[in-house]
Amino acid sequence: SREAVAVPTGGELQPEVVQTFKTSELQGIVKLFRQEPGEGVLRWLVRAWDNAGNTVMLLRYELQQLGVLSQDSQVRAQMSNPQEPDGNEESPSLYCWLAAAVGAAYPSVGELEAQAGPWKTIAKGVQVLRQLGMAWAVETGGKNGPDDTLVTKSIKATLLRLAPDELKPSLLVVVMAGDGWVGDLAATLMQLETALAGAWPRAVQAAKGQQSKGQAGGGQEKGELRVPRKVLCLDLLQAGVCREEINGKPTADLYKRWMQLPAAKRSTRSEGEKGVERSKPVEPSAPPSEWQLPRPY
């Protein structure tokens, strides 16, 4: 609902339209923006941004009725007596209110970064990257979203620390070179995921015809890729594994150790092909045109 309020302008009263919400409308806001059980504050704020929380304008007394939005007791306490977000807006956006409440509850950016957890896939890594971007967006006043935050050294270090070991060699150059916006680095990571995924079909093709052959010393487990023993040995040797740790070991054990190598160190040619070709890391270029970061609607 909208309510007309008289505002003095040059000695005359001029009507100004101010947004107010009915109880039912506030309940709708709670349903859309409520923090889920177990959902960290950074992930919650990113979701509030993606759901266009920066377009929902609220007066202070309206926000005080929305304390149930947060599962975090510290944030909920701040929302009961909210601090005015930076700026002169009469009714700041819900996103600005929430960012201010989280910033007051967690005044150290380190406390917020600690909310991000380990990740296993690049897609999940992008989510963690945007959460770290949100931590710095809150630290700098909560005016921008996570994608429009500059990549800091702390963001890089935390993202790499939380990454799985097998992806760190491929991520290192890409992440350390990311000196622009979080949104740009997120797009580059998605491009990297596409490049790394391209090596998998070649590995499957290389394994065709091997599934029916028994491996000396025992084969890989059912349902896993079949890779010739000599390829496993060669890759492990070139990766720095001592020959004494390879000779006489069951093929199944060698295979498990081979799978722990970075993708760039695992051969992708079949046994019958000449030489051993490695899937070289591909330096990401422009992000795929079909993928876009979430934007407020």
pLDDT value of residue 241: 87
The answer to whether 7 and 16 have CB atoms below 8 angstroms apart is yes
Same domain, yes or no, for 24 and 43?
Answer: yes
256's torsion region: left (phi>0), alpha (psi -120 to 50) or beta?
Answer: alpha
Q: What is the DSSP letter of 148?
A: G
Considering the entire predicted model, what is its pTM? 0.61
Domain boundary among 70, 105, 140: 105
171, exposed or middle or buried, with CB in 10 Å at 0-12, 13-18, 19+? buried
Would residue 274 count as lying in a domain?
A: no
Q: How far, in Å, are 98, 126, 223 from residue 294 at the CA level?
A: 19, 12, 37
Whether 139 is in a domain gets the answer yes
* Domain extent for 229: 206-265
Ranges under pLDDT 50 in the chain: 1-11, 13-18, 200-224, 269-297
* Same-domain pairing of 12 and 98: yes
Residues 39 and 83 in one domain: yes
Number of domains in the chain: 3
Question: Does residue 42 sit in the same domain as residue 81?
Answer: yes
Q: Which helix (H) or strand (E) covers residue 13, if one does?
A: strand 12-19
Q: Which of 197, 223, 248 is the last residue of a domain?
A: 197
Regarding whether 66 and 156 lie in a shared domain, the answer is: no
Q: Do residues 24 and 89 share a domain?
A: yes
Q: Is residue 285 part of a domain?
A: no
Would you state the pLDDT for residue 87?
61
